[in-house]
Structure 1
Amino acid sequence: MNGKSMLALAVAALTLLVVSNSVYVVKETERAVLLEFGKMVQADLKPGLHFKWPMINEVRKFDGRVLTLDTAPQNFMTVEKKGMIVDYFAKWKIQDVDKFYTATGGDEMTADRLMAQRINEGLRNQFARRSLLDVVSGERDELMEKLTQNLDDFSRSSLGIQLIDVRVKQIELPPEVSGSVYSRMTSEREREAREHRSKGKEQAEFISADADRQKVVVEAEAYRDAERIRGEGDAIAAATYAAAYNKDPEFYTFVRSLNAYKKAFQNKDDIMLVDPDSEFFRYLKDAQGKK
């Protein structure tokens, strides 16, 4: 290989090196700034292919996706001066690249540390105004929303970070506190149970008394209706008997006598002492019933 070839190869290699150090790509999931001798000259570079001056410009890239801040559990005090161990996490992402780089130097660990300090302070202040029951009950969601809103305003203006959410993963009590707290919670639940049982018993007695009253009313109304229907039936029967008797009194008397004979002679062991001339044997002596 002659000198010209070596020179051409060296020039090609140098050109490739210059081009490779001059071209860079910003991905859709990244945020980037362009520095010139360490000073920012362009913030929030758009995704795509870009060019820079080798040895003069430097590109710093940061993760533009939603990141998670997960710190070690912290000790906080409630308004009753009871300690608790709170484990939480936060979701955040870069909002203003210029402010983010200026405040943190582009270091995510520095951003996590600064955010953790503010969140710990906010949680400490919020928990110090609430009781243990409020912290572990439904007010916790309201507390987290208010804390997130307050810290988001600070993080946007000071760190260029959007704080998306802060959530408590777990709340534990120190061993020296958990016993008394659990005892008090048990007493509260037992008191509520007694109140519910008392109200249930009162309602049961009211329902039972009302059912007994309704039973008496229904039975009385049923007895009244039954007596009325029975009376109406007796009246109709008496009227029917009277009408039949008036149509043929002799036949009616004959039928009654036959029924009386049937009942009198039903049992063969019975003995009857009756005067032969009694009215009872009227139709036995004469089919016409003549005396």
Structure 2
Amino acid sequence: MQRFFPVLIGLVIVLAVLSSCVFIVRERDAALVFALGEVRETITEPGLYFKFPPPFENVVRLDKRLQTIENNDPERIQTAEKKNLLIDSFVKWRISDPRLFYVTFGANDRAAVERLTAQIRDALNASVNVRTVKEVVANERDTIMREVLENVAVRAKPLGVEVIDVRLRRIDFAPEISESVYRRMEAERKQEANRLRASGTADSERIRAQADRERQEILAKAYVQAQQVRGEGDAKAASVYSAAYGKNPEFFRLYKSLDAYESAFADGKGTMVLSPKSEFFKFWNSATGQGDDTAPATP
């Protein structure tokens, strides 16, 4: 047993040396291989790699996954109207060049987050300071995010960082201007409501006037048509009367007299003071209407 003990120790030493010469790079990592303090190789692909044992070479790993900077303390930024806004944003970023990143920040992600946060603050100030509250809150929000992304991406690239996205999560008014902004918004809404109400009233008057004009036109056309039909009816009636009168004038006179008698005594209460020999009673006194004096007068 004592004879194998030195062999076992030697085997352990060999295994330790071999293990220090092998390292694994995972998919989420990037590896920097240092030789006597200088970067000899940058490895971004996952796999099994070999190196010289320390202190000749050593490995530093960096996380190359997508990371997020969440600003839990909203930035207080002033608009072109000198109004303060509280803007809450977040940023998606990752390491694009491990060598540059290590030269700038070492293996300290916190330093990178602080630098990016400062750059985002500067970019937000540059974009918001030249716009009004309405533009920042509603009209040009997407434009501001695009400008901030482009600004920060250009400034972060020399640091070995790629900025993927910048989003404005929430924009609030500072407490000292909230009330004045709400009052102004209320006044604008009232003004818009009054404008729409006036426009609606004008439209209703126009529609009512148009309807009245069309009504008058329809009534006028209907009256014309009615008069035309009435005239045609009267003409036909006159034609029928004329034809009847031409066939038997004496009977036609009798018929008209009977019509007159019926109209005169229809209610049974009327009183007429006329001579029995008047033209009105010519058929009353004589069936032929010739005024036969020998015939007794009908009371």
- 1:195 alignment partner, SS class: helix
> How has the CA–CA distance of structure 1 residues 241 and 16 changed in structure 2, closer, same or farther, with 3 Å as cutoff?
farther
> How has the CA–CA distance of structure 1 residues 15 and 266 changed in structure 2, closer, same or farther, with 3 Å as cutoff?
farther
User: Over alpha carbons, which structure has the higher Rg?
Assistant: 2
Identity of aligned pairs, percent? 35
Unaligned runs of 5+ in 1: 286-291
Partner of 1:288: none
Shift of 1:33: 2.3
For 2:288 and 2:29, the matched residues in 1 are separated by: 129
Shift of 1:108: 1.8
Shift of 1:234: 3.1
For 1:280 and 1:199, the matched residues in 2 are separated by: 76
Partner of 2:142: 141
Segments ≥4 residues shifted beyond 6 Å = 247-274, 281-285
Of 183-192 and 14-23, more deviation after overlay is shown by 14-23
Q: Deviations over 1:195-252 (max 9, x none)?
A: 2222222222222222222222222222222222332333334435545665677887
- Residue pair 1:257, 1:280 contacting (<8 A) in 2 also: no
Q: Deviations over 1:27-81 (max 9, x none)?
A: 3333332222332111243122222222133322233232111122121111222
What TM-score do you get using the length of structure 2 for normalisation?
Answer: 0.79
Number of positions where the alignment pairs a residue of Structure 1 with one of Structure 2: 284
Partner of 2:154: 153
Shift of 1:180: 2.1
For 2:101 and 2:93, the matched residues in 1 are separated by: 12
For 2:229 and 2:222, the matched residues in 1 are separated by: 10
Partner of 1:225: 225
Q: Deviations over 1:140-175 (max 9, x none)?
A: 21111112112212212x212221221112222332
What TM-score do you get using the length of structure 1 for normalisation?
Answer: 0.81
> How has the CA–CA distance of structure 1 residues 241 and 284 changed in structure 2, closer, same or farther, with 3 Å as cutoff?
closer
Superposition RMSD on alpha carbons, in Å?
A: 3.2
Partner of 2:295: none
Q: Deviations over 1:58-109 (max 9, x none)?
A: 3222332321111221211112222222211111122222222222213221
Q: Structure 1 counterpart of 2:24, which letter?
A: V
For 2:197 and 2:223, the matched residues in 1 are separated by: 38
Partner of 2:116: 115
